[in-house]
Amino acid sequence: MKILLKSARIIDKESEFHNTVKDILISDGTITHISDQLGEVQADKVIADAYVSQGWTDSSVCFGEPGYEERETLANGMLTAEKSGFTHLLINPLTHPVTDSKAAVTYIKDKTRYCAATAYPIGALTVESKGEYLAELYDMQSAGAVAFGDYKKPISNSNLLKIALQYTQPFDGIVISFPNDTKIMGKGVVNEHIEGTRLGLKGIPALAEELCVARDLSILEYAGGRLHIPTISTAKSVALIAEAKAKGLDVTCSVAVHHLHFTDEVLDNFDTNYKILPPLRDTENVLALREALDNGVIDFVTSDHNPLDIELKFKEFDLADFGTIGLENVWGVLSQYTTVERAVTLLTAARKRFGITTIPIAVNTVADLTLFTPEGTSVFTKEDILSASKNSAFIGATMKGKVLGVIANNQLILNE
């Protein structure tokens, strides 16, 4: 198959063609020509005036399968990700059984082998994600796991985190530690702030996150190793991680796209799609997160995509599960809060962190590309949801720009 990208604006800081407009010819999955104008070319598909970058990576995605196929299958989840601009996905171990063995990692790799995007399982850090004993970390990494963490479950045992950081050092494993002190969280369901108090909803203090971030960074400084702190949501977390990076600690962090876009003021209607962990924060914290997009403290942005069926969400706010989908909305939100170049960096930086091959846009390289535009606005509706589950916090939200599709694994996936 031949694909011609006509007058494509290349956004790739690792490429000699960065921020230039070129014609790009792709034949059977390989970039064969990059030129100012290629003239008359026979191609199976011509796409004009797109922005093109290295394929994006999402560092936190849940799909359900195996065990929770009613929420999302791997097949439809991968297609949703591809149409959302992602060619590399880190899949959380929120499955049944939990992804805590070599066989479970192999299952996900095998089931997604022929997709355009590539799945990289995150192995559970502990057996069945119960927080008691380390799982088969080395075996899982040998099978293709790229990191280890228990999704949305904090490592309450400080010594276990220390041992995990030490144990993974010989094979360069990455430990993911979700920052949430469950004792301080208690029965909280929203941010501890005036909005939650006004609505009569129990609060989750920012302290619940910040204590864990401080503890984890102290343990990292003592034990060494490689640590990733996912989906931070407060200004103090940003400051703590900035201080740790200045010390030279091997730590990265991410922010979920919904924490960039919403404040806790959206809770007025008790819509359970806004029940998220960590909770949506107040304006001061959201502004701090947006500022950290550009100063290098936040390493990458994630959808933190968590599909949940209606039985888990169509309940009283206190009883509903935490989580929202978001793959479809990452670009439309992120492009509102930073430059195109910085946004692409935030959507591709996870590749290097998690050992995924980086392929600059150049002649005679494999085409692993995202096609998009930063122009135009639209309102996201329920009909725009590609996921099997519909628990989206973004219904009714304004999106900026559009994802056109991806070219990866010798496949072209377009939104048409």
Q: Active-site positions?
A: 304
How many residues are listed for the chain in this entry? 416
Q: Which two tokens stand for residue 294?
A: 């550009």
| CA-to-CA separations, 103 to 9, 97, 109, 134, in angstroms, rounded | 42, 11, 10, 16
CA atoms within 13 A on the CB side of 137: 23
Q: Phi-psi region for residue 170, left (φ > 0), alpha (ψ -120 to 50) or beta? A: alpha
User: How many whole angstroms separate alpha carbon 333 and alpha carbon 329?
Assistant: 6
Residue keyed to tokens 């989906």: 231
Q: Which two tokens stand for residue 280?
A: 């949506």
DSSP 317: T
Residue 55: closest CA among 102, 11, 23, 101: 11
Read off φ and ψ for residue 86, nearest 5 degrees: -105, 135
Count of CB atoms within 10 A of residue 251's CB?
22
Complete DSSP assignment for 359-399: --S-TTSB--EEEEEEEEEEE--GGG--SSS--BTTTT-EE
Read off φ and ψ for residue 124, nearest 5 degrees: -60, 140
Rounded to the nearest angstrom, the gap between the alpha carbon of residue 379 and the centroid of all alpha carbons in its chain is: 22
Q: Which two tokens stand for residue 94?
A: 């929120």
Side chain identity at residue 396, one-letter code: G
